Each structure stands twice: as structure tokens, then as C-alpha cells.
């Protein structure tokens, strides 16, 4: 269960684009249900927004597959999303407006549900085997990484006086 | 359309995700007040817990509807399901590009703040809990996939260092979203830090950690929602770019030197005694 698994591969993975295109339709439809149920965004608005998000994702995947240099798919998708919504990009205002009809937390809900279903026997075993010591260390790893980033960012922002 | 047929054969999985997800969305965001602040519970957390409870590996008795076939299929689906989420985050960065550029130096340098794990976790692991070389793998990073790759490459995952990084990886996978939701809730309600700093720090981990972290932040500080999403998204993108190198060239060498200079000496002494 690894959402960054693609990033781990050093060489370009051979993405099956048709397979991804179909699976993404299903995932986006599931996301659309969440978007309508939770944040109560009108279905028609959410639908157009989701089509925009789908297209951004697919362009990102096309680039992952065919760009002259390799970047992980999440990086390409993110870059396409950024480029499509930069103030200087023609039509960006419309894209931004549509994307606003998609709630980011509603998109995360199905991803985490899949993650819950994906827990493997081995992961349960590792968690049990590692015991409370590693669990405690892990909590401090997360706290330390988060707090360290907050402190450095805070310091620089204050120095900048921004 | 083989791909479509393949997905339709997984109807149990997708149906279960829709039902559990919808229930989670209906419960909505809940606040648990604590003395110093409040902890936020997000729909994505309920969705994960409910799905885990239907997972035959977690609850063998309930493994009727979801079978091992669905479990195996769910893993690659996480990667796909997170893609629209990443695209959505991208669309929040573009319009905020001026905010991002203004925060550029902080955004870049906060990546170094990730070394905070060494400051906090390493002493506890080595001196507090008397861990061996597991401590190296466990404390040098937040243990997401690129960091697993570093340890796998250098020590293999079966080594003590590999055990350490795998342990933190699995705990992060199982509880990372909870830990990040709690961290962000507490930091935000403490009201000491610049929300922009809290947002940038949300980007240090995986996509779902970022979701939990920004979800909690935007709930506490709704007036800055757009800025928070943009900065967290930009920081996360940066982590993809720099995470591997920072881990490989900075964090891991530091932890190795620290270990060899402290606990490692005892290891050598014990080894010598055994030989003698």
C-alpha cells in the first residue's frame, strides 16, 4: 500500500495508459459521490470539476509516459495542475473556477478507504513484530520532522518579515 | 476493454469504498476538544478505519465480503486514487503562485527542517530505548518509499537498519494520517506559529498524510484555506524532488556518524569481548 510507489522506481515504469484511463474514470466517479455527499457541492458543478481534474491527471500520465526525461507521475500531474491554473495561462480562470467545485478532502476519502482494504498480512506482522519501541520512535520521527519543518519555515518567514 | 472488465470484476471493492466513503462523509468533520486545543477527526480517517475493519487480514472473521483478491487489487488502486487528489492540489498552487514565490526561501529551507527527526527520535531510540542499528533506519527520515529505497540499496531491507525503516514505514502507513491530523490540530490551535509555516510542513510526507494535515489546518483556520492548500502542495512537490537526495546525502550520513560515535562503540566493544 504505497501511494508514492511510483516515485521509488528509478527507471521509467511502463504505464499502461488505457488501463489507467479506465481505472481513473472509476476512481473519479467514486470521488464525485464523496464530493456530492460530504461537502454537498451540486452534482452538475462537481461533475464538470471532476472532468477537469480527470483531464489534468491524464495529461500528467501522458507526460510520465512520453516526456523526454522521467519524473514520477505525481510530480507530472502536479506540474500540469499548476501550469493549467497559472494566472498567465489562457483560460486558467475557468479551470480554477471548475476545480473549486471539487473538494480536496472528498478526494482523499476514497484513497484512504482503498488503503484500509489494502492492508496486507505482512504489514500486520511487521507492526506486531516491531513492537511498542518502534511505534514510539515512529511517533517522534513524525513529530520531529513536522516540528523541524515548522520551526525552520517560521524562522525564515520572520527573517523575511513577510 | 480488458481494463474495464478487470475493474468491474472488482465491483465488491469499489462498492465497499463508495458505501464506507459516503458514510464517512456523512459523519463529517468532528472536533474533540482538549485542554490545549482540539483534535480534528476527518472523514478520511473514518473511511480508513472502517475499511480496515472489513479487511480479512485485520479482522479474519469479517473476511467474507472483501477477499484476498480485493485486498491485492486495492494496493495499486491507492496510487490511482491519489492522482486526482494531487491534480486538485496542483490547481490550488497555480493561482497562488505569487504567495509561493514570496514564501520561496522558507519553502526551500524548511526541507532541512526534516532533520528534526534526528534531534528528537535518535536520542530516544539509542539512549532511551537502547535500540541497536535499527535506530539508524528508523530515525533518519519519515520513512516513505524513497527512504525505503535508500536503505534497501545500502543495507537491504533484511538488515537491522532495514527492520528499523520498515517498522516506521508500516506504522506511518497504518497510523500516519491520524498522527498528522493530531499534530496539525494541536500546532494550529496552539496559535503560536504562522499558518503558512504549518502549511508548508504538511507537505513532508505522503499524499494522505498531507490530506489529513491540511484538512485539520483548514478546519482550524478556514480564512486561509487557499493559501494553506497551495503552500502544502508546493512543499509536497518539493519533497518529491529533494526528499531522496536529502535523505541519501545529508540525513543518513549524519545518523550513521552519530550512531558510530556513540552506541556503535559499545557494539564494537561487545563484539571484541565475544571474540576474546
Q: Kindly list the residues from chain A whose CB atom is less than 8 angstroms away from the CB atom of residue B95.
A: 85-87, 92, 96
Say what the ipTM of the complex is.
0.89
Instruction: Check B205 against A145: CB less than 8 A apart.
Output: yes
Assign B48 to helix, strand or coil.
Answer: helix
Residue with more model confidence, B207 or A6: B207
Greatest extent of chain B over all pairs of C-alpha atoms, in Å:
69
Mean pLDDT of A42-48: 96
Instruction: Check B21 against A147: CB less than 8 A apart.
Output: no
Per-domain boundaries in chain B: 82-275
Given a cut of 70, whether residue B197 has pLDDT beyond it is yes
Instruction: Check B171 against A138: CB less than 8 A apart.
Output: yes
What are the CA-CA distances from residue A95 to residues A77, A83, B62, B87 (Å)?
15, 11, 44, 12
Mean pLDDT of A45-72: 94
pLDDT digits (tens, 9 = 90+) for B227-270: 999 999 999 988 877 777 888 899 999 999 999 988 777 766 66
Helices (H) and strands (E) in chain B, counts: 15, 2
Per-domain boundaries in chain A: 5-119, 121-162
Mean pLDDT of A140-146: 96
The confidence score (pLDDT) of residue B54 equals 92
Residue with more model confidence, B70 or A4: B70
Instruction: Check B120 against A99: CB less than 8 A apart.
Output: no
Q: Which burial class, exposed, middle or buried, applies to A55 when counting CB atoms under 10 A from its CB (0-12, 13-18, 19+)?
A: middle
Q: For residues A38 and A30, what is the distance between their CA atoms, to the nearest angstrom?
A: 12
Q: By mean pLDDT, which of A39-53, A115-129, B193-207 is the weakest?
A: A115-129
Given a cut of 90, whether residue B38 has pLDDT beyond it is no
Residues in chain A: 162
- CB nearest A56 (choices: B87, B166, B184): B87
Q: Kindly list the residues from chain B whose CB atom is less than 8 angstroms away from the CB atom of residue A26.
A: 7, 14
- CB nearest A95 (choices: B66, B71, B91): B91
Indicate the Cα dihedral angle A19, A24, A26, A28, nearest 10°.
-170
Confidence of residue A5 (pLDDT cuts 50, 70, 90): very low
Mean pLDDT of B160-189: 90
Given a cut of 90, whether residue A141 has pLDDT beyond it is yes
Q: For residues A120 and A104, what is the distance between their CA atoms, to the nearest angstrom?
A: 27
Mean pLDDT of B58-66: 83
Q: Kindly list the residues from chain A whose CB atom is less than 8 angstroms away from the CB atom of residue B173.
A: 1-2, 115, 123
Mean pLDDT of B99-106: 91
Nearest to B84, CA basis, from A5, A60, A16: A60
Kindly state the percentage of chain B with pLDDT values over 90.
55
B254 reaches A (C-beta below 8 A): no
Q: Kindly list the residues from chain A whose CB atom is less than 8 angstroms away from the CB atom of residue B129.
A: 133, 136-137
Given a cut of 80, whether residue B224 has pLDDT beyond it is yes
Q: For residues A68 and A95, what is the distance between their CA atoms, to the nearest angstrom?
A: 27
Q: What are the b/e assignments for B238-253, b being 16+ CB within 10 Å?
A: bbbebbbebbbebbbe
Instruction: Check B119 against A148: CB less than 8 A apart.
Output: yes
Q: For residues B154 and B256, what is the distance between their CA atoms, to the nearest angstrom?
A: 12
Cell of A148: 523541524
The confidence score (pLDDT) of residue A4 equals 43
The confidence score (pLDDT) of residue A58 equals 97
Q: Rg of chain B's alpha carbons, rounded to an integer? A: 21
Q: For residues B81 and B44, what is the distance between their CA atoms, to the nearest angstrom?
A: 13
Residue with more model confidence, B1 or B21: B21
Residue with more model confidence, B33 or B127: B127
Instruction: Check B233 against A78: CB less than 8 A apart.
Output: yes
Q: In Å, how far is A46's CA from the nearest CA of chain B?
A: 12
Confidence of residue A127 (pLDDT cuts 50, 70, 90): confident
Is residue A91 left, alpha or beta, with left meaning phi > 0 and alpha meaning psi from -120 to 50? left
Nearest to A144, CA basis, from B235, B236, B142, B109: B142
pLDDT digits (tens, 9 = 90+) for B103-161: 999 999 998 999 999 999 999 999 998 888 999 999 999 998 888 888 988 898 888 99
Confidence of residue B60 (pLDDT cuts 50, 70, 90): confident
Q: What are the b/e assignments for B207-235, b being 16+ CB within 10 Å?
A: bbbbbbbbbbbbbbbeebbebbbbbbbbb
pLDDT digits (tens, 9 = 90+) for B76-86: 998 899 999 99
Q: Kindly list the residues from chain A whose CB atom is less than 8 angstroms away from the CB atom of residue B119.
A: 144, 148
Mean pLDDT of A10-20: 76
Q: What is the mean pLDDT of chain A?
A: 89
Q: For residues A76 and B241, what is the distance between their CA atoms, to the nearest angstrom?
A: 11
- CB nearest B25 (choices: A10, A34, A61): A34
B107 reaches A (C-beta below 8 A): yes
Given a cut of 50, whether residue A7 has pLDDT beyond it is no
Confidence of residue A8 (pLDDT cuts 50, 70, 90): very low
Mean pLDDT of A129-139: 88
Phi, then psi, of B56 in degrees rounded to 5: -60, -25
Cell of A41: 457541492
Contact B71, B78 (CB under 8 A): no
Q: What is the mean pLDDT of chain B?
A: 89
The confidence score (pLDDT) of residue A3 equals 41
Q: Which burial class, exposed, middle or buried, applies to B95 when counting CB atoms under 10 A from its CB (0-12, 13-18, 19+)?
A: buried
Mean pLDDT of B160-170: 90
Given a cut of 90, whether residue A107 has pLDDT beyond it is yes
Instruction: Check A27 against B142: CB less than 8 A apart.
Output: no
Amino acid at each position: 500500500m504505497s501511494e508514492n510507489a511510483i516515485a521509488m522506481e528509478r527507471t521509467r515504469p511502463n504505464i499502461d495508459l488505457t488501463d489507467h484511463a479506465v481505472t481513473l474514470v472509476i476512481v473519479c466517479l467514486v470521488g464525485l459521490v464523496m464530493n456530492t455527499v460530504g461537502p454537498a457541492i451540486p452534482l452538475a458543478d462537481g461533475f464538470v470539476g471532476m472532468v477537469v481534474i480527470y483531464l489534468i491527471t491524464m495529461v500528467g500520465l501522458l507526460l510520465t509516459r512520453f516526456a523526454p526525461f522521467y519524473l514520477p507521475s505525481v510530480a507530472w500531474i502536479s506540474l500540469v495542475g499548476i501550469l493549467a491554473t497559472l494566472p498567465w495561462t489562457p483560460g486558467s480562470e475557468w479551470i480554477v473556477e471548475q476545480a473549486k467545485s471539487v473538494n480536496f478532502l472528498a478526494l482523499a476519502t476514497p484513497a484512504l478507504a482503498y488503503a484500509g482494504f489494502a492492508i496486507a498480512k505482512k504489514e500486520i506482522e511487521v507492526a506486531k513484530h516491531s513492537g511498542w519501541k518502534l511505534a514510539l520512535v515512529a511517533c517522534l520521527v513524525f513529530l520531529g520532522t513536522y516540528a523541524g519543518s515548522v520551526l525552520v519555515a517560521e524562522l525564515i518567514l520572520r527573517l523575511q518579515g513577510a | 476493454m480488458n481494463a474495464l472488465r478487470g475493474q468491474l470484476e472488482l465491483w465488491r471493492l469499489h462498492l465497499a469504498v463508495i458505501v464506507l466513503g459516503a458514510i464517512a462523509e456523512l459523519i463529517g468533520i468532528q472536533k474533540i476538544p482538549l485542554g490545549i486545543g482540539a483534535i480534528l477527526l476527518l472523514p478520511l480517517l473514518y473511511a480508513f478505519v472502517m475499511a480496515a475493519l472489513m479487511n480479512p487480514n485485520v479482522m479474519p472473521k469479517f473476511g467474507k465480503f472483501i477477499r484476498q483478491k480485493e485486498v491485492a487489487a486495492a494496493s495499486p488502486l491507492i496510487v490511482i486514487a491519489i492522482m486526482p487528489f494531487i491534480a486538485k492540489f496542483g490547481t490550488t498552487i497555480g493561482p497562488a503562485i505569487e504567495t509561493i514565490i514570496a514564501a520561496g526561501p522558507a519553502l526551500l529551507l524548511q526541507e532541512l527542517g526534516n532533520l528534526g527527526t534526528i534531534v528528537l527520535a535518535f536520542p530516544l531510540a539509542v539512549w532511551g530505548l537502547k535500540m541497536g542499528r535499527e535506530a539508524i533506519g528508523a530515525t533518519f527520515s519519515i520513512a516513505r518509499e524513497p527512504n525505503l529505497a535508500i536503505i534497501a540499496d545500502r543495507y537491504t531491507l533484511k538488515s537491522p537498519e532495514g527492520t528499523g525503516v520498515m517498522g516506521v514505514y508500516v506504522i506511518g502507513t497504518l497510523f500516519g494520517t491520524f498522527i498528522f491530523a493530531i499534530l496539525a490540530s494541536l500546532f494550529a490551535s496552539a496559535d503560536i506559529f504562522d499558518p503558512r509555516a504549518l502549511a508548508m510542513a504538511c507537505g513532508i510526507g505522503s499524499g494522505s498524510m498531507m490530506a489529513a494535515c491540511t484538512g485539520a489546518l483548514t478546519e482550524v483556520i478556514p480564512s486561509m484555506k487557499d493559501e494553506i492548500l497551495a503552500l502544502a502542495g508546493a512543499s509536497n512537490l518539493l519533497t518529491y524532488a529533494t526528499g531522496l537526495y536529502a535523505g541519501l546525502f545529508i540525513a543518513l550520513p549524519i545518523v550513521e556518524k552519530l550512531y558510530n560515535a556513540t552506541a556503535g562503540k559499545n557494539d564494537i566493544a561487545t563484539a571484541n569481548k565475544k571474540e576474546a
